[in-house]
Every structure is written in C-alpha cells, then in structure tokens.
Amino acid sequence: MTVFCNQLINTRTFFFICLILVWLSSVYISSISLTADPRVVFEMFALTSVAFIGITSCLVATDWTERELRIFVDVYILSNVIAAVIGVLGFVAHNPDLTWADRPRAFLDDPDMFGVFLVPGILGSLFMIAEKRRRILFSAALLLLSVAVFLSFSRAAIVSAALWSGIYLGILNRHQLLRATLSSLAFLVPLVVVVLLFAVLNDTVSHMLSGRFTVAEEYDLGHFGRYNRYLLAIPMILDHPFGIGLLQIENYFPEPIHNVWIACFLYFGWIGGLAWTLLLILSGMQAWNTWKQSRNGLCLMIFFGWLSIISCSMLHEGERWRFMWLLTGVLWGLNPRNFVAIPRPAHESRRIIAARKPAGRATPIVS
C-alpha cells in the first residue's frame, strides 16, 4: 500500500478492500457520537487494526505460490504450538496471567479465543501428516493442540475441531476411509489417556467435565440468556438502522450478544450487518473457487481453517479475533493461477521423453 513496492492489485483484492472499508465506516458512523467514552475510542482503534490485518494479509498473499503458502501454514502451526505450551503450563501452574476462570488462555483475551485460535493448526497438522512431511513432529503437534483445545473447555472450539477435522480428514483420505478411521482411533487413545490423567491429577478438569459439556449453561438460558438475547436483538436492530454503537449493549443486556453476525447488525447498523453478511458469503465462494480451479490441498486447508473460525464466531464476539481477519485476508488474496501447474509446450515434452530413453536404442532427432 506504499509507493515503495510494486504491489499487485486485482479486482478481487480491490473489492475485498472496499468491502472492509464499508464495514469500518459503519463502525465509525455508529459510534462517532460516543467518543467521549475512552473505552469506545479504544474499541474503534482495535477494530480498525484487526480489519487492516485482513487487508494487509490479502495484499501480501496475492503473489503467493505453494511454497509461500506452505511456509505460512508451518509458521501458523508453530505459533499454535507456542500458544498451546504457554496455555497448558499456565493452566497446570494456575497462573492468573495465563488463565481466565481456571481455563487456559495464554496471552489471548479469553479461553474461547484461545481454543478457536488452535483449530486451524490442527487442520494444518492433519494436512502435513497426510503429505507425509515430518509425520512424527506434526503428530506430536496435533496431540498437543488437541489437548490444549480440550483444556480450553470452549464448547464451540471443541465441537468445531471435531466437526471440521472429521470432514477434512475424510476428504484427505477419501480413497482410504478405512485406514483413516483406524488411524483416527489410534490417535484418540493417547489423547484420551492424557485427558484422563489431567482429570485425575487436576480438580479443575474434573469439575469442568461435569459442568462445561452441556448444550446450555445457566447463562445461556432465561430471559436474558445467550440464546434468548438473539431474539431480543431483532426489534432493536429494526429500531436502530445505524446501530446502537460500541459497548452500548451493556445498557440493555447483562452480557454481549455473543454472535458476530447479529452483533454487526445490532452494533453497527444495517450497512455493517449487510457488509458482514456479504463478506461471509463471498469469502466462502472465493475459497471454493480457488480450490476448484487449483485443486491444491493447501488452499482447501485454508478454507476449512477459515470455516472453523467463522462457525465459532457465531457464538462469540469474533469481530475482534485477529487470526480470523488474518485467514480471511489470505483466503481472498490467494490467486488460483499461482497454484496451477503450467503445462509444458508439446515440443519440449517430446524432447524430455526422447532424452529419457535408455542408451543403445535409436533415438529420433527432435528439432
């Protein structure tokens, strides 16, 4: 975005940037009258920064080939492993700076954000194992990330990890489903053993096992519960076409709306909600077309990683998740032409075939 680089701008990236700027404009329009509150100013700055993470990652990924995308996935998995180690150690040590409500969060905002952050790393590890690249190393990473997601006790993250990993694993091994099933069962054995050890040695785990794994917690039910707040938000959305603004939800409900799609309509108005809806639909279409044209497994892995995050954001305040914007930008930036093998000219293919023939035989001369 500067005059010092030869940045590639195509129709797709230009439209993505415009869509993000429209969404950001709705954030400012809805909250500009509330800037006397320093918390609102901070939230506006935070949302601006995460949105520009998406724009930057989109621009960076425009000229990526499989090599650069593979490096990105490796680094993402490494960052997940570092976060998982910090979170698990903080959980074991009961470190208040690394936990929230006795659940690990590492240096992220909360345990739910921590758990969702790790799910694309699980998908990336599955891809690397299927590609037979350092299988022992990535199997260890897969086990660590799975344990960390479980210890986050985020219902959305755990269900997302199980659902999308199962679908993705089935696609990766669609020609060897029986073998994939047996491998999955073999992986579950050490995972269950580790979880049981935590449950026996840590009172928090045993308590969470009995309380967290339910369809609805106490705060999900009731008139102002999470699920009923979705219904209560509908008349408020209709009455506030420009949105109620940032942090104003606390004047109406005891907790945030915990649904990024409804929140965009409620907080930022109809324009913000429509921009977000369009962003979700077009992101899915963009990811599908990229994979369909390239047939590259890494592109499919990015798509599933993005889906795992978006599905969780429907139960949380996901508009603040930096990694969600990161993967969204990468998803829009990937150019399928950079991942399609360039066919060799016919005369070059004949020359290669002729050169590969064994010595001693008559080899036709190819001009």
> Tens digits of per-residue pLDDT, 231-240?
889 999 999 9
Is the pLDDT at 15 greater than 90? The verdict is: yes
| Residue-level pLDDT at 260 | 92
At 328, the pLDDT band (50, 70, 90 cuts) reads very high
List of E strands, the chain: 99-100, 103-104
CA 108/CA 321 separation, integer angstroms: 10
Give the global pTM.
0.85
How is the chain split into domains, by residue range? Answer: 23-63+232-367
Which helix (H) or strand (E) segment is 183 a member of? Answer: helix 177-201
Q: Which residues contact 328 (CB under 8 A, 6 or more apart)?
A: 54, 57, 58, 279, 283, 306
What is the per-residue pLDDT for 217?
Answer: 62
Q: What is the pLDDT of residue 344?
A: 47
Higher pLDDT, 170 or 278: 278
- Sorting pLDDT into bands at 50, 70 and 90, what band is 193? confident
Helix (H/G/I), strand (E/B), else coil: 56: helix
CA 243, chain centre distance (Å): 27
**What is the rounded end-to-end Cα distance, in angstroms, of the chain?**
47
CB 127 within 8 A of CB 100: no
Mean pLDDT of all residues in 57-81: 94
| 300, 257 contact by CB (below 8 A) | no
pLDDT tens track for 308-317: 999 999 988 8
Is the pLDDT confidence value at 283 over 50? yes
Picking from 344, 350, 336, 352, the residue whose alpha carbon sits closest to that of residue 61 is: 336
163 close to 344: Cβ distance less than 8 angstroms = no
Q: How confident is the model at residue 180 (pLDDT cuts 50, 70, 90)?
A: low
Residues 6+ apart with CB under 8 A from 284: 307
On the question of pLDDT at 178 being above 60, the answer is: yes
What does the pLDDT read at residue 366? 43
Least confident of 272-281, 295-304, 340-349: 340-349
Helix H segments across 61-110? 66-93
